[in-house]
Amino acid sequence: MDPILEQMMGMDANRTAIYRYADGQVSKEDFEYARVIDQVLFDEKIGYIATLGPTWNMVHDPRFVKLENTFVIERKARFGGNATVGVSIITEDGMGGGNNDLERYSDILGEGRNMLKAVRTAGLDPQKFQNNPDAIWLMIRQESPNWFRQNNTANKEATRLFDMCSIGLVGLIDDYAEVPLANEWVDGESGELLTPATTNDPDVLGVNLEVDQLDKALSARTQLRLLAMRVLNELGLVRKLKGEEGRLTDFERDDLLRIIYQSEWPEGKPKLMMDLLAFIANATNRPFEERQREQLMRASEKSKEMVAQLKAGTLQQINRETDGIAPEFAKEDTTRMLDDIMHDPLKRHLFPIYTQAEKAKQTELVELLAPIFATPDYVLSDDHFWEVMTKVKKLTAPLPVQKKDEQFHSKESPYRS
């Protein structure tokens, strides 16, 4: 993939992932599938970002990517291959990642909040804490004494936390994520609330809702970015850029995704190209550092306002004890549907047909396919799939063209009409 596109979409700085780029043109089916992911991620009321609240602003800060990279451990492969720990291979269809990602985000948020509290209690400045290595070691030893061996050396957890604090972990949490909006424990596979019985069940992957949503949000955004790179490559956008026009902030990359996935593909290619060029020209008419600084400042202010409301109780956290849980778990049907489509190739094949039928108001086709996507945990067997596809073909088959017999006569013929 073109290195300019990699930089534009932010795929060049994160060491925790190896991206497998797909080749070829972007099909209408792939694009429609991505539009669903776009909705689940960005919807203002029920999207992943809406659930994360102030915490999402954190991911746009360059410190966040640096913190992620501290979880990568490079090891020599004694028998060949890649022995590096903490790196996932991610493809356009969302395959890749794993529980290591959950652990990474859990440590960033959990250790970050704990250290922020300790730093404030000690009367230190969270924004300057990263510049004082002695204070960092003292605080780690105070908060996690078990992370030091009998000979007084730090283990890998203490060393990683030191590296994270030196990068600016405490300042990052102070700026964006002091208090979570989503604060509940759920089953990492089903998304359901943990009960007293499932909390201690070793077979249940219990995960904090905020961590789960952050992992899903970043995974969804990566999928959108990977397909967007193919879209931009197919449009030939890079050839139209000059100088610094390919350098976007992380906020601007999200805006670029919205433009792409709110367009019509492939019919709207010319308009999409014009919209993208206009957006990039407008976004990059000032120096990158200046734009990024202003955007991060506004994001921090917005996050702190929400944190203040959460502390005051004027904004309720999303948990089982408040009404805030209702919007989140009303959304779960949507997210479960997305998960089903992502992991079931039969449903993935049918979904673009369903969305197009809804747009075209093809009532019979919508009624045929709606139960598959409206019913949670709908099981679509191979036999049922082919049965549905047979009906789909009948409903979408073009009408036979009626031909009438024609007779051809010369200009002089009296039978010529």
pLDDT score recorded for residue 148: 93
Pairwise CA distance, residues 218 & 59, whole Å: 9
Distances (CA, A) of 174 to 171, 258, 351, 362: 5, 29, 42, 52
Structure tokens, 131: 């510049």
Backbone angles phi, psi at 384, to 5 degrees: -65, -35
Residue 195: Cβ within 10 Å count = 11
Pairwise CA distance, residues 325 & 99, whole Å: 24
Residue type, 201: D
Residue 417: Cβ within 10 Å count = 5
pLDDT score recorded for residue 181: 94
Residue 73: DSSP 8-state: B
Pairwise CA distance, residues 279 & 229, whole Å: 16
At residue 148, the 3 state secondary structure works out as strand
Structure tokens, 382: 């191979």
Pairwise CA distance, residues 68 & 88, whole Å: 12
**pLDDT in tens for each of the 417 residues of the chain?**
788 888 888 888 777 777 777 888 998 888 988 888 898 899 887 789 999 999 999 999 999 999 999 988 776 666 666 556 667 777 776 555 555 678 899 999 999 999 999 999 999 999 999 999 999 999 999 999 999 998 989 999 999 999 999 999 999 999 999 999 998 888 877 777 888 888 888 888 888 999 999 998 998 999 899 999 999 999 998 888 876 677 899 999 999 999 999 999 999 999 999 999 999 999 999 999 999 999 999 999 999 999 999 999 999 888 877 644 444 444 455 556 666 665 676 776 677 677 767 767 888 888 888 888 777 678 888 888 888 888 888 887 765 545 444 454 555 555 554
Which of 60, 57, 184, 177 lies closest to 108, judged by CA?
177
Q: Which residues contact 127 (CB under 8 A, 6 or more apart)?
A: 171, 174
pLDDT score recorded for residue 333: 54
Structure tokens, 299: 């994001």
Residue 71: DSSP 8-state: T
Structure tokens, 381: 């067997």
Residue 182: DSSP 8-state: B
Distances (CA, A) of 374 to 47, 363, 367, 369, 370: 18, 15, 11, 9, 6
Q: Which residues contact 401 (CB under 8 A, 6 or more apart)?
A: none
Q: Which H/E stretch holds residue 17?
A: strand 17-20
- DSSP line for 88-147: EEEETTS----HHHHHHHHHHHHHHHHHHHHHHHTT--TTTGGG-HHHHHHHHHHH-GGG
- Whether the ω angle into residue 266 lies within 30 degrees of 0, i.e. cis, is yes
List the beta bridge partners of residue 207: 186
pLDDT score recorded for residue 54: 96
Q: Per DSSP, which regions of 111-260 are E strands? A: 185-187, 206-208
pLDDT score recorded for residue 79: 62
With beta carbons less than 8 A apart as the criterion, state whether 308 and 53 touch: no
Backbone angles phi, psi at 267, to 5 degrees: -60, -35
pTM: 0.78
Structure tokens, 291: 């734009």
pLDDT score recorded for residue 7: 87
